Amino acid sequence: MTIAQQVLALQEAIASGALRIKHNDKETTFRSLDEMQEILAGLQAQLAGTKRVNVGYASFSRGDR
């Protein structure tokens, strides 16, 4: 499946409200719409030839406060 095909499949799934995509003999289940949109943005950036920077922040709690 090409990146363009992945973008199309993901857009169709988002539009229909589905969290699962089947392609060939594989099935992908996403955790949330946010996750799907994040992946879609990354795929679109790849198609455009631009780089995306992913930044994540971890938070920790000792549980006693």
Q: Could you tell me the residue range of the domain that residue 28 belongs to?
A: 3-48
Q: What's the pLDDT at 1?
A: 79
Residue 21 belongs to a domain: yes
Residue 62 belongs to a domain: no
Residue 7 belongs to a domain: yes
Residue 25 belongs to a domain: yes
Residue 28 belongs to a domain: yes
Residue 42 belongs to a domain: yes
The predicted-structure confidence for 14-47, as pLDDT tens digits, reads as follows 999 999 988 788 899 999 999 999 999 999 988 8
Instruction: Find out whether 19 and 27 touch, Cβ atoms under 8 Å.
Output: no
Q: What's the pLDDT at 24?
A: 81
- Total domain count for the chain? 1
Residue 54 belongs to a domain: no
In angstroms, the CA 32 to CA 35 distance is 5
Residue 35 belongs to a domain: yes
